[in-house]
Structure 1
Amino acid sequence: MNTFSIRKFIAWPVLALVLAGAALAADIQSTPVQNAQIDDFAVGKKAIDAKNWTQAVSSFSKVVTQNPKNADAYNYLGYANRWLGKYDEAFAAYDKALALDPRHKGALEYSGIAYLKTNQKPRAEAQLARLQAICATCEETRDLAKAVAAAK
């Protein structure tokens, strides 16, 4: 084999791997590192930490307007709305988060809690079952399981 043939032999598999990686990366949801770079996301997280639910709703609403594929922002939008007692808005946000990422553990847990708060225990149990299928020992699963067990 001459040098040119060896280069072609090595170059094609490397190029295929690079292209495959680019295709996979395009489908990955937002990560915490990326979210931390979004100013409104950071403001929303601080508002949640301070239990300033109205500010959190405002901030995460801006995030999802700018990036409608951010499942994490929809999850937190639902969480803040739930604390405000705005369950219709909370469920809509959780549903959007789960449409974007059906395995979003936070949205499954928080929507399960919202179902319990609105006397919909069977729906909370369904969310718990989904969580258990994803990760039986995760914190989100344990927390929702405790809440379901404590519910009437």
Structure 2
Amino acid sequence: MLTTPVFAAGSGGGSSSNNPCNAGWVWDKTERKCVRQSSEVDQESLFEAGRSLAHAGRYQEAIDVLELASADDKRVLNYLGFANRKLGRVDVGLEYYRTALAIDPEYTLVREYMGEALLQKGDLEGALEQLAEIRRLCNGRGCSEYAELSGQIADYINKQDG
């Protein structure tokens, strides 16, 4: 079992509690301490811990935490898709992305990650469709999700041509 600390990242803007928790524990914002991961922990704390684990490359741990959270939270579904995709379970990841989009079709981050998953499957056309949707939703090219997926698509095309 890994014992590397987990830093529960904030949700952007303002200050957040970046306190370390060992594997199997999550930072509970309500209790203001590390607690054993369980469905009793508040939704936001589970999401933040799962997202932090996923970004740290600890994908299975992220999945274990996120599966305790609400299955109708688009952010949770997005990171379940992300972690599964990074573990090579691209089809599982795509199902999570589709479920998140059913909740919020304008969620550009899930569209970016879905485009990356489609590229992993060799579906350039599908990735370009996601890029077009992101562009529409961002009123042009003014969002990071567009720039990220556009770069991924360019790299994919360059590898195909090379």
Q: Which amino acid aligns with 1:137?
A: G
- Per the alignment, residue 72 of structure 1 pairs with 75
Richer in strand (by share): 2
Q: Report the 3-state secondary structure (helix = DSSP H, G, I; strand = E; otherwise coil) of the residue aligned with 1:69.
A: coil
- Which one is further off, 37-46 or 142-151? 37-46
Identity %: 29
> For the residues of structure 2 that align with 1:93 and 1:131, how far apart are their CA atoms?
18
- Per the alignment, residue 55 of structure 2 pairs with 49
Query: Whose radius of gyration is greater, 1 or 2?
Result: 1
Richer in helix (by share): 1
Q: Does 1:91 align with 2:94?
A: yes
> For the residues of structure 2 that align with 1:117 and 1:80, how far apart are their CA atoms?
14
> For the residues of structure 2 that align with 1:54 and 1:69, how far apart are their CA atoms?
20
For residues 97-132 of structure 1, what are the alpha-carbon distances to aligned partners after superposition, in whole Å with 9 as ceiling and x for unaligned?
Answer: 101010111100000001111101100000000000
Higher relative contact order (CA 8 A, sep 6+): 1
Paired residues for 1:1-150 under 5 Å = 32=11, 38=43, 39-63=45-69, 67-135=70-138, 136-150=141-155
Q: Which amino acid aligns with 1:85?
A: G
- Does the 8 Å contact 2:90/2:120 carry over to 1? no
For residues 55-87 of structure 1, what are the alpha-carbon distances to aligned partners after superposition, in whole Å with 9 as ceiling and x for unaligned?
Answer: 111111221xxx232001000110001100001
Superposition RMSD in Å: 1.6
| Number of aligned residue pairs | 116
Unaligned runs of 5+ in 2: 1-10, 13-28, 30-41
- The TM-score normalised by the length of structure 1 is 0.71
Unaligned runs of 5+ in 1: 1-31
Deviation, 1:47, is 1.0
- Which one is further off, 36-45 or 136-145? 36-45
